[in-house]
Structure 1
Amino acid sequence: MRSFGQMHRDSLADGALSRKSKELLALAIAITVRCDGCIAFHVHDALPAGAGQEEIAEAIGVAVLMGGGPAVMYGCEALQALEQFAKSSA
């Protein structure tokens, strides 16, 4: 787990892509692979990385496009997570 944690930190650090972009990518992937915990985690981390609500919503839209019908349901979960985290950080 320690190694995975380090890989996580290294992978999402600013580089050629910003941390914000990487969190939005991770969120879209989480939706398409239907990982509830991953969705909440990456919505939560996208906000302090600088992603706005509109950017997160667009990432959800791309995930739904690529993931089809099942991604619609998980996209809804991501929107619910966004609402909860946005309220708690306001």
Structure 2
Amino acid sequence: MSELVKKFNDYREKMNEVILSKDNLVLKRLWNLDTNTYEDGALDKRTKEMLGLVASMVLRCDDCIKYHLGKCRELGVTTQQMYEIFAVANIVGGTIVIPHTRRAAEYWEELMSSELK
């Protein structure tokens, strides 16, 4: 796993543990809703993660983008499909999304290269 990917995953896991350890019912319910939203239903997990990625790019949340990129990779999204996802996000979000696409492409490359090591 690349250092970039490891650093993101470690930080996310650490801070989720800190936040959830405070036993705030609203935050726990929010985390639970988020988890359950991406489970298979009328739409499969893969489709939902791709939708989440487009929404995250349009909303310009780099942490969310990285998370959904990782999930998309785990669920077998190909590079060709990923660049179509990027295209949809840029059409919907406009040129303000371009810097986030650059960072998303960088992270995707890291995810793809870490599979080879």
Q: Partners of 2:86 and 2:68 in 1: how far apart?
A: 12
Give the structure-2-normalised TM-score. Answer: 0.72
The structure with the largest alpha-carbon Rg is 2
Identity among equivalent positions (%) equals: 26
Runs of 5+ consecutive residues of structure 1 not aligned to the other structure: none
Q: Partners of 1:39 and 1:31 in 2: how far apart?
A: 6
Corresponding residue pairs, total: 90
Q: Partners of 2:60 and 2:37 in 1: how far apart?
A: 21
1:2 paired to 2:28 = yes
Deviating beyond 2 angstroms after TM superposition, the runs of 4 or more aligned structure 1 residues are none
CA displacement, residues 37-70 of structure 1 (integer Å, 9 cap, x when unaligned): 0111100111112211111111111000111111
Runs of 5+ consecutive residues of structure 2 not aligned to the other structure: 1-26
Q: Partners of 2:31 and 2:80 in 1: how far apart?
A: 29
SS of residue matched to 1:47: helix
Name the structure, 1 or 2, with higher relative contact order (CA <8 Å, separation 6+).
Answer: 2
Q: 2:107 aligns with which of 70, 76, 81?
A: 81
